[in-house]
């Protein structure tokens, strides 16, 4: 067997040391997520209503309030809900969360019904609307270090709005399918 050269032994040891050092210098950090985020309106303005007849129509909302969970801070959200025969058939919303843990900008849309959740419901009167919906979201999360992450998930939402109402919004994200 041929003896190993000291240079070869040094080179292999250095490569092993650099590999171990690189793996431990940057331990895996979990990606930021809205899982467990709660939004609670502290103020809001109603929006408008269109063709609301009690069991059908569209209403809009705008709310600001407190965000708790992974991103503690302030949020704003505005959106639109269409109700047909007392069931929400369309939902879209945009939201932002400002937090010392990072900033979040996202979009939501109506989620497909889930077997383990109660059915979505809603109504829309000529000046007021209410809906309980499940929505899917896509959000860009930017932590203080500036690296942006995309997060997707589901939120359960209770919202009121319309032309004669102040908006109330309660939202819980990361609720699963």
Its pTM stands at: 0.79
Rounded to whole angstroms, the Cα distance separating 97 from 99 reads: 6
Q: Tell me the β-bridge partners of 137.
A: 108, 153
With cut-offs at 50, 70 and 90, classify the pLDDT of residue 2. low
Three-state secondary structure call for residue 17: helix
pLDDT of residue 149: 95
Q: What is the DSSP letter of 144?
A: T
Q: Which of 2-6, 12-16, 124-128, 152-156 has the highest mean pLDDT?
A: 152-156
Instruction: Tell me the domain boundaries of the chain.
Output: 38-173
67 or 4: whose pLDDT is higher?
67
CA 122, 119, 174, 137 dihedral sign is negative
**Least confident window among 38-52, 67-81, 95-109, 125-139:** 38-52
Q: DSSP characters for 34-95?
A: -TT-EEEEEEEEEEEEES--BSSEEEEEEEEEEEESSS-EEEEEEEEEEEETTEEEEEEEEE
With cut-offs at 50, 70 and 90, classify the pLDDT of residue 3. low
Compute the mean pLDDT over every residue in the chain, rounded to the nearest whole number.
82
- Which is nearest to 162 in space by CA: 126, 134, 131, 137? 126
pLDDT tens string 5-63: 655 555 444 545 544 444 444 455 678 899 999 999 988 777 788 888 888 899 989 99
Rounded to whole angstroms, the Cα distance separating 56 from 64 reads: 26
Rounded to whole angstroms, the Cα distance separating 78 from 171 reads: 13
Three-state secondary structure call for residue 176: coil
**Least confident window among 22-31, 67-76, 114-123:** 22-31
Question: Pseudo-torsion of CA 109, 112, 113, 116, nearest 10°?
Answer: -100
């Amino acid at each position: 067997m041929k003896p190993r050269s000291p240079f070869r032994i040094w080179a292999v040891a250095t490569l092993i040391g650099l590999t171990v050092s690189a793996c431990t210098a940057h331990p895996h950090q979990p990606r930021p997520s809205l899982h467990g985020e709660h939004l609670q309106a502290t103020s809001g303005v109603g929006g408008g209503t269109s063709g609301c007849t009690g069991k059908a129509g569209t209403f809009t909302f705008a709310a600001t309030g407190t965000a708790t969970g992974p991103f503690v801070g302030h949020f704003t959200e505005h959106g639109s809900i269409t109700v047909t025969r007392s069931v929400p058939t369309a939902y879209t919303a945009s939201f932002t969360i400002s937090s010392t843990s990072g900033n979040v900008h996202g979009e939501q849309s109506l989620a497909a019904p889930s077997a383990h959740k109660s059915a979505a419901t809603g109504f829309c009167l000529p000046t007021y609307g209410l809906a309980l919906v499940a929505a899917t979201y896509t959000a860009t999360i930017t932590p203080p270090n500036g690296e942006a992450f995309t997060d997707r998930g589901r939120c359960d939402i209770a919202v009121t709005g319309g032309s004669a109402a102040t908006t109330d919004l309660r939202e819980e994200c990361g609720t699963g399918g």
